[in-house]
Amino acid sequence: MNYSEEKVIKAFQIYAKLARTAVTDQEAVQLYRADDDIRSLLDLYAKEVDAVIVNTSEHLYLIPETKLSVFHVSNDWIKRHYLRSGATNGDIYLLYFATIILFGTFYNSYQSGRPTRDFLRVEEWMHQIQERIEQLQALDEEVLKQKESEFSYNWRQIVDKWVDMNDIKESVKRQTGNTISRYSFLDTVKRFLLDQDLVMDQGNEEIALTEKAKTIIQRYFMEVEYNKGIFTFIYEMEGEKTDASD
């Protein structure tokens, strides 16, 4: 396909801003939606760096699609910028797990079309995580090993990390310096998500999803191709719990 020089330059200007800041203004959104050539060029530029363009009503975002992307946020980077000294992959797994639970709590079922709530209180977020941890603990050891192999997630490390952050024993553990409380860990996860423009802090311990988060969740987290079935697994655990209580 042949593109005019003007459109190639304009598309590259938008891409250059995305590469620097990962977000653009509303004018870029309007061009992306209205001009097929600019949209095609931007999608092509993003594909070349293993990323995708996500558009909301107000912004364009450049989102890494694979670990090969230069825009991918590595585990080591998260450890250095957000987690305590000596953090392990278990802390990273728990951060991802807490994020998935947060996202899932805004939707009433797997592959929901839109959020079914406006905000989530931190206390309820913690309660939702605790429920899923207890469901993981109730699984047979062989089933858990199978799920670890299937999802490449160390579920046992997630359970152990969460259980070790027992808020009831927080004062004792603060003295040993071996761990942090669940509340302070979720505050760290929230700070990471705020910095990535995925949640908004509404005050009064309430968190809301951004338009960026809603778009990414709908486009990727709800697609088995991208979430590797993890959402399905978590919702299945919730469904089995409901069935058992009937």
User: Cα(159)–Cα(153) distance, rounded to whole angstroms?
Assistant: 11
Per-residue pLDDT of 79-136, as tens digits, reads: 888 887 788 888 998 998 999 889 888 886 556 668 889 999 999 999 999 998 998 8
- Both tokens of 204, joined, read 């009064």
As a whole-number percent, the residues of the chain with pLDDT over 70 amount to 75
Min mean pLDDT across 11-25, 49-63, 178-192, 212-226 is at 212-226
Q: Select, from the ranges 58-67, 106-115, 207-216, the one with the highest average predicted confidence (pLDDT).
A: 207-216
User: CB atoms < 10 A from the CB of 219, how many?
Assistant: 13
- Both tokens of 133, joined, read 């941890």
User: Cα(225)–Cα(72) distance, rounded to whole angstroms?
Assistant: 18
**What pLDDT score does 246 carry?**
45
pLDDT(214) > 60 = yes
pLDDT(215) > 90 = no
**CA-based nearest residue to 103, from 221, 190, 233:** 221
Cβ burial, residue 67 (10 Å; 0-12/13-18/19+):
exposed
- Orientation angle between helical segments 75-82 and 182-195, nearest 10 degrees: 110
**What pLDDT score does 88 carry?**
86
**CA-based nearest residue to 182, from 88, 77, 94, 93:** 94
**What pLDDT score does 72 carry?**
67
**What pLDDT score does 241 carry?**
47
As a whole-number percent, the residues of the chain with pLDDT over 90 amount to 32
User: Cα(82)–Cα(95) distance, rounded to whole angstroms?
Assistant: 10
Torsion of CA 24, 26, 32, 33, to 10 degrees: 150
What pTM was estimated for this model as a whole? 0.78
User: Cα(20)–Cα(18) distance, rounded to whole angstroms?
Assistant: 5
Give the strand order in the sheet containing 120-121.
120-121, 206-209, 199-203
**What pLDDT score does 187 carry?**
93
Confidence band of 173 (pLDDT split at 50, 70, 90):
very low
